[in-house]
Structure 1
Amino acid sequence: MGVLRKFLAWLSVPVICFFALALYLARPFNPDNNRLLGFAVARVGRFLLGMERPLSGREHVPLDRPTVMIANHQHNDDLFVMGDLLPPRTVTVGKSSLVWLPFFGQVFWLGGNVILNRARSHKAIAVMQATSDAIARDRKSLWVFPEGTRSRGLGLQKFKKGAFHAAVASGAPITMVCARQYQDGTLGWTGRREPVSIRILPPIETAHLTSDDIPELMARCRREMEAAIAAMA
């Protein structure tokens, strides 16, 4: 039953994206399209999975100014766990291969999201620094998985610098989204997925920081996120 639930949840993604294409084509590169799509995909996905998502700290998300949201990345199912947490005017970061996924890739591109080519990873920081201009000029928020890859529920991995360069260069606060470590565990004969708790931490201001402060900023964020994740275990 759990396998069927997961199949239906992921089948819903291209279906929702197909219908969302009309919105994206009507107002291409409008970052609020991403928030609406994330809301629909996450809510439908969790419904089909039978997953509860207890949430605390939602009040810490800045709604009146841009922010850089960072979150721990465990599985592809993070889309259902966190997709409805995007603040207004948010763009996300994804690898270039996502663009080729049917319907999802097209709305990802039309959403004005940041596309990174891993084959040119040495340019990633430069791309994120350029993104900081969009944060400041266009008042966009940015969602990043700073680990850069999935941990598969095996603990917080080393952070990459890109998101922190973007935050410091733009002066935007960093808002940390922490998800409890989880696997594909199911509950009972119905195959409902185990709950995944989320805790959003108070933002860390970066307006007074310089590039020299980035290593300590990264270390602080990782410490606070690690502690919050451990507390939800």
Structure 2
Amino acid sequence: MSSDSLPTTDELNPNDCTCCFTTGLSVFLSIWIVLFYAKTPLQFYIKYATYALTVIFFALIVMFLCLLRPCNPKNVAIVAKIFNILFKIYDIDYEIENAKYLQIKDPYILICNHQSSMDFMTMMKIWPGGNCTPLAKKELLYSGPFGIAAWLCGITFIDRINPQKARGTLEKLADKINDDNMRIWIYPEGTRSPSTQLLPFKKGAFHLAIQAQVPIVCVVTSSYSNFYNKKEKKFNFVGKVKVRVLPPFQTTGMDSDSVNQLSKHLQDKMQKEFDLLNKEIGLDEKYYVKSKNDKVDNDLTRTTFVQDLDYTQLNDLTHLNSLINQTDSIYLSQVQSDSNNNSINEEDQKKSQ
């Protein structure tokens, strides 16, 4: 072809370029959508990439929205509503029990089991509203747009590598909890675990609750393994997640000596609820971790539990159990009467605006 036959710059039609780009984009999106819904080996990667890109893309938008009130924890309530709309493409059925316990007016520490990056969807689904902030590892701050958006949303970051700095962060947070009527969301396992056996709980959440003398609300989420499993490259539709919120555990009267036993007590309780939820959703048996002491009765389990704590005396255990098992009518009277109401109360809605 001679140079005379090539189109010059003046002869190029912008409309043709636009048409080519639109056609190419349409073809790419069509292929992407087909792979998203088709049963192919690529489906896991396409779905996970869609999930990750959705989060990153929206994080860019959140960065600008949060500039109106930067570093305000109430920003997350707005973010949660929008993400819940976007995440509907995954068709995950969430059943939430006792959401009323998230609506108590006083500050509290919320602890939840930590399974995978899918926990972000669960967090957005059951976000308690109000002045709530998750406690996140400092490394998340450097994760691009998502980290910046998290900072602008008022997320509290903790340096897990430096114990002294981590302790200082918790001490400052303890002072703010009651002053600002805050709710703190913490994953006490400290890292993700897809297993049906909870990892040992870190003590930070319990030190924080006792130092601030605020209750602990346990949130237990059933396993995602029936529809999502990274190792098996499985990401199915029509998934079911069952979430159970336990009544608030009072820490009034406890001190730092109670931390170890309190964390073990609540981990034991959450493990039992986790097992129950997994049975209720019909989790495949291959995902269960068999315990050596499945048939041990409650009394023997409690005796073994006490012996593991070499510093604990029987009198201290009795006193701690009485504190743990207290039912404070003040908190229960503040809970909405409708146990099926999964939204935040009107006062929290006004505060979040």
TM-score w.r.t. structure 2 length?
Answer: 0.61
Report the counterpart of residue 90 of structure 2 in structure 1. 49
29-38 or 88-97: which moved more?
A: 29-38
Q: Which of the two has higher C-alpha Rg?
A: 2
Distance 2:77 2:256 in 1: 30
**One of 116, 126, 136 as aligned partner of 1:85:** 126
Deviation at 1:231, TM superposition (A): 0.5
Q: Deviations over 1:95-133 (max 9, x none)?
A: 122112232111211223221223214543442232111
Q: Report the AA paired with residue 151 of structure 1.
A: S
Report the counterpart of residue 34 of structure 1 in structure 2. 76
CA contact (8 A) 1:6 1:48 kept: no
Distance 2:117 2:57 in 1: 17
* Correspondence list, 1:1-233, <5 A: 1=36, 2-3=43-44, 4-45=46-87, 47-87=88-128, 88-121=130-163, 123-183=165-225, 185=227, 191-192=236-237, 194-233=239-278
Q: Deviations over 1:21-72 (max 9, x none)?
A: 2231110121111232234334422x12221111111011134111110000
* Structure 1 residues 42 and 183: CA distance shift in structure 2, 3 A: farther
Deviation at 1:137, TM superposition (A): 1.4
CA contact (8 A) 2:73 2:131 kept: yes
SS class of match (1:192) = coil
Deviation at 1:155, TM superposition (A): 1.7
CA contact (8 A) 2:111 2:186 kept: yes
Deviation at 1:164, TM superposition (A): 0.8
Distance 1:73 1:122 in 2: 25
Distance 1:63 1:23 in 2: 28
CA contact (8 A) 1:89 1:141 kept: yes
SS class of match (1:136) = helix
Q: Report the AA paired with residue 204 of structure 1.
A: F
Q: How many residues align?
A: 229
Q: Report the AA paired with residue 126 of structure 2.
A: L
- Give the aligned CA root-mean-square deviation in angstroms: 2.0
CA contact (8 A) 1:168 1:207 kept: yes
| Identity between Structure 1 and Structure 2 (%) | 26
TM-score w.r.t. structure 1 length?
Answer: 0.90
SS class of match (2:93) = coil
93-102 or 173-182: which moved more?
A: 93-102
State the structure with bigger RCO (CA 8 A, min sep 6), 1 or 2.
Answer: 1
Q: Report the AA paired with residue 158 of structure 2.
A: L
CA contact (8 A) 1:17 1:37 kept: no
Please list every run of 5 or more consecutive structure 1 residues that lacks an aligned counterpart in the other structure.
none
Distance 2:122 2:147 in 1: 20
CA contact (8 A) 1:165 1:214 kept: yes
CA contact (8 A) 1:182 1:196 kept: yes
SS class of match (1:53) = strand
Q: Report the AA paired with residue 9 of structure 1.
A: Y
Q: Report the AA paired with residue 211 of structure 1.
A: S
Report the counterpart of residue 305 of structure 2 in structure 1. none
Q: Deviations over 1:122-156 (max 9, x none)?
A: 54344223211111111111000000001123421
Report the counterpart of residue 345 of structure 2 in structure 1. none
CA contact (8 A) 1:70 1:145 kept: yes
Report the counterpart of residue 307 of structure 2 in structure 1. none
